Structure 1
Amino acid sequence: MKVFAAVSALALAMPAAAQVPGTGIDLSVEADLMSDYRFRGISRSDEDPALQGAVTVSHDSGFFVGARGTTLSGIDPFRLRDPDLDDLGDLELDVYAGYGSDLGGGLSVDGGLMYYAFLGHDGPANYVEPYASLSYLLGPVEATAGAKYAPSQNGTGDEDMLYLFGEVEAGIPFTPVTLRAHVGRQDWGSYGRYTNWSVGGGYTMGPFEIGARYVDTNLPSTAGQDAGVVLSLGVGF
């Protein structure tokens, strides 16, 4: 909670153009209030509201680093497949670094490393996950396909975890509305595999965005992994 409060305060204090003159460095800050925090279709907030804040520092060369904090509650039902993978705690802190580049012709590439840390967790939880994605932009429509792979480590229950995903984002011309769709497939070794998907969009008003999306998985319809509508209110600079 303290991490998010600090990020939120910074977000509200940031000017619209957060650039360091003469350095090629940009600073972006985001803060979001969500009706539910869904990670790959599964709730990590016990289907209750969550707060999220992020800070990213990027350079004209394409390199970037950042961190994102999200409040948690309850227990991730998918992790309960192993009694050693228990409560994730009160706060998820994602630290990331990577590189993105425009390849020309509407193509762009992005790759990097994510480190997931959980504050106040029980049992092993923290883990590292490299990722890579390729995007294609045609007019107002951008399609992305990518993969995230976490090699066997304590936080993944000593199993490899592979997540393949695809998403489409389309801005409706001459309106502040953006439509989004996402589908992903997670394979977590002996813990099982499942598919998740979501459809929705956002309405932008200056630095604010109001969002709504329908989220579902092909897992049994039980609390934390059943279908639901997630609402959000975000601000970014």
Structure 2
Amino acid sequence: MMRSACALAACWWLPLSVPAAASPASAAEVLPPVIDVAGSIGIVTDYRFRGISLSDTHPSVQGSIVATHRSGAYAGISAYTLNGFGELGGSNLELDLYAGYRHNIGPVTVDAGLLYYAYPGSSGGSYEFIESYASLSARIGPATAKLSAAYSPPQDGLNGNGNLYLAGEVALPIRSTPATLRGRLGRSSGDTPLTPGGLYHEWLVGADYELGQVTLGAAITGTDIAAAEARAAGARPRDTRPTLSLTAALRF
């Protein structure tokens, strides 16, 4: 049974200097808030996690909210509707709770934290588990490159085993347009329900188009999981297929 890793995003504020003669009212206008709260809500035609469908190729409604301290610390929650998870019972809903810290070291952005996966109302076994994550990202010319790792130690929700996911991503804005090209190559290993066959690779090629606070996305995803391995692991569709998404950014 496959699980989600959410795509984490957070921003933080740096303190601004205030003129000595500024009044309390004007100072409040100049200084940014200590904590910034943002979020998103959207729909995707197929909820794909690391190349495998968790919505059984059906649409999924998704939302998130994150609070970020100007120091770089953040915490948030993401929700995803699932489909075809009869063995989980409950509401066919995934909730991801996460907390981490993001900081710039020269041109490199370092991000690390913990993520907890919960399935409200699930029955028939233990499915919840914890995953640690870390990433390094930097600008390379007009593009942004990112290397990331996510590790789940042995625990009941993974049949007593652990899982390691490694990925490389790149985002390339198209000059003078609101479009961005994106690509990802990932590798998942470990004898757990997360990894049919014990090891597989996945990929994504797509593009985003921003219209104000709304982002339209299109992508093609796939894996090298053999059909027999997918059936043996009870994995959802893992073949190459397109997905479309519509996401609106929220500010509070």
TM category, shorter: 0.7 to 0.9
Q: Residue 141 in 1 paired to residue 143 in 2?
A: yes
CA offset at residue 22 of structure 1?
5.0
Number of the residue aligned with 1:111: 112
SS in 2 for 1:145: strand
Cα-Cα RMSD: 1.9
The structure having more radius of gyration, on CA atoms, is: 2
1:190/1:68 CA distance change after superposition, 3 Å: closer
Number of the residue aligned with 1:8: none
1:1-237 superposed matches below 5 A: 23-75=33-85, 86-87=87-88, 90-104=92-106, 106-122=107-123, 123-189=125-191, 192-221=198-227, 224-237=237-250
- Aligned pair count reads 208
Q: Deviations over 1:50-72 (max 9, x none)?
A: 00000010011110000000000
Identity score, percent: 40
Q: Deviations over 1:10-39 (max 9, x none)?
A: xxxxxxxxxxx6542111110110000001
Q: Contact conserved, 1:94 with 1:116, CA < 8 A, in 2? A: yes
CA offset at residue 183 of structure 1?
1.0
SS in 1 for 2:161: coil
Number of the residue aligned with 2:24: none
Q: Deviations over 1:63-104 (max 9, x none)?
A: 00000000001149xxxxxxxxx4375000000000001111
1:88/1:65 CA distance change after superposition, 3 Å: farther
Unaligned runs of 5+ in 1: 1-20, 77-85
Q: Contact conserved, 2:200 with 2:224, CA < 8 A, in 1? A: yes
More divergent stretch after superposition (121-130 vs 28-37): 121-130
Q: Contact conserved, 2:44 with 2:59, CA < 8 A, in 1? A: yes
SS in 2 for 1:151: strand
Q: Which residue identity does 2:34 align to in structure 1? A: G
Off by >4 Å, runs of 4+ in structure 1: none
1:220/1:64 CA distance change after superposition, 3 Å: same
Cα distance in structure 1, aligned partners of 2:112 and 2:63: 21
